[in-house]
């Protein structure tokens, strides 16, 4: 029923695409006496869409958890940006990470994340950037060493100088790119959609041509007889054989890949 409604909606809107072709091929299988094949076509098509929606929603949850895991504030030192802070008398205030200005000195304690892309001003510590670059081995960082935003400070205490704002930092870009990947289809997916629409039109035209021209050229009967398959039967057979199953489930691979990436980043940060 759902496949019929989707196909009718697309046809009424002047669209002949993969959805319409798959639905018509499924019903063609039923008319040809192969209801199991038609049912499998619709089941596979619907399961692919259900799985796509599931993985898409999962990845959005992972991105949301990533945002919640990452601290929304940082300890910014009350010092002149042109002077090196004195560790013996630190004075700081809690500032939202989105308001950290370039040149600000930030205190990063053990177990905390470096809020923005920075350079170490004072201190020495071991950090991990596995969730950013895939580098599993912890890295030693000292004075004048650069640290990307989102790096986790494993031990010690660091005073870092902000080199970029939150929007320009690496972790923010990871979150932004993940969200944009959901909203914007990749070039390959857009090409597949366009190809699928043209492909569906060609198959429909060929099927109609076989049904109408077959009796004239090949002397087939319109309807099957005991001695010969009819042109309508052959046209339906072409439609079923040409069903683009791979194109129907192609979006699932993209959604699954994004979900896996988002889940891995969130798992490492968590």
Residue labelled with tokens 């993209």: 254
Q: What is the model's pLDDT at position 160?
A: 93
Phi, psi of 125 (to 5 degrees): -160, 175
Average pLDDT per block of 10 residues along the chain, 270 residues long: 79 82 85 83 77 73 64 82 64 88 90 90 88 77 90 89 87 74 68 83 92 91 87 89 68 63 56
pTM beyond cutoff 0.75 = no
Half-sphere exposure of 263 (CA within 13 A, CB side): 11
Q: What is the model's pLDDT at position 140?
A: 92
* Other beta carbons within 10 Å of 2: 9
Cβ atoms of 242 and 24 closer than 8 Å: no
Tell me the pLDDT tens digit for each residue of 14-34. Answer: 888 877 888 888 888 888 888
Closest CA to 46 of 257, 265, 269, 245: 245
Tell me the pLDDT tens digit for each residue of 235-262. Answer: 988 888 887 765 556 665 666 666 666 6
* DSSP-derived 3-state class of residue 134: coil
Residues 6+ apart with CB under 8 A from 87: 122, 123, 159
DSSP element (H, E) containing 245: helix 245-269
Q: What is the model's pLDDT at position 225?
A: 85
Domains of the chain: residue spans and CATH: 2-65+176-269 (no CATH), 72-112+116-165 (2.70.150.10)
Calculate helix-pair angle for 231-241, 187-217, nearest 10 degrees.
160
């Amino acid at each position: 029923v759902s496949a019929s409604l989707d196909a009718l909606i697309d046809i009424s809107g002047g669209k002949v695409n993969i959805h319409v072709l798959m639905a018509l091929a499924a019903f063609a299988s039923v008319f040809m006496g192969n209801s199991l094949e038609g049912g499998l076509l619709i089941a596979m098509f619907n399961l692919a869409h259900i799985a796509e929606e599931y993985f898409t929603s999962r990845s959005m949850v992972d991105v949301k958890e990533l945002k919640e895991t990452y601290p929304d504030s940082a300890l910014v030192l009350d010092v002149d940006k042109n002077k090196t802070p004195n560790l013996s008398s630190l004075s700081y205030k809690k500032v939202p990470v989105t308001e950290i200005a370039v040149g600000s000195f930030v205190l990063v304690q053990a177990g905390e994340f470096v809020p923005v892309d920075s350079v170490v001003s004072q201190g020495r510590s071991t950090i991990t950037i596995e969730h950013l670059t895939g580098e599993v081995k912890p890295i030693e960082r000292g004075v004048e060493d650069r640290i990307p935003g989102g790096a986790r400070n494993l031990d010690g205490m660091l005073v870092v100088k902000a080199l970029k704002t939150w929007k320009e930092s690496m972790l923010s870009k990871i979150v932004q790119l993940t969200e944009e990947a959901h909203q914007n289809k990749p070039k390959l997916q857009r090409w597949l959609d366009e190809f699928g629409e043209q492909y569906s039109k060609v198959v429909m035209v060929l099927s109609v041509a076989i049904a109408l021209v077959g009796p004239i050229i090949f002397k087939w009967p319109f309807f099957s007889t005991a001695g010969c398959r009819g042109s309508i039967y052959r046209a339906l057979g072409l439609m079923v054989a040409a069903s683009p199953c791979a194109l129907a489930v192609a979006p699932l691979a993209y959604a699954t890949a994004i979900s896996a990436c988002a889940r891995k980043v969130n798992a490492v940060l968590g």
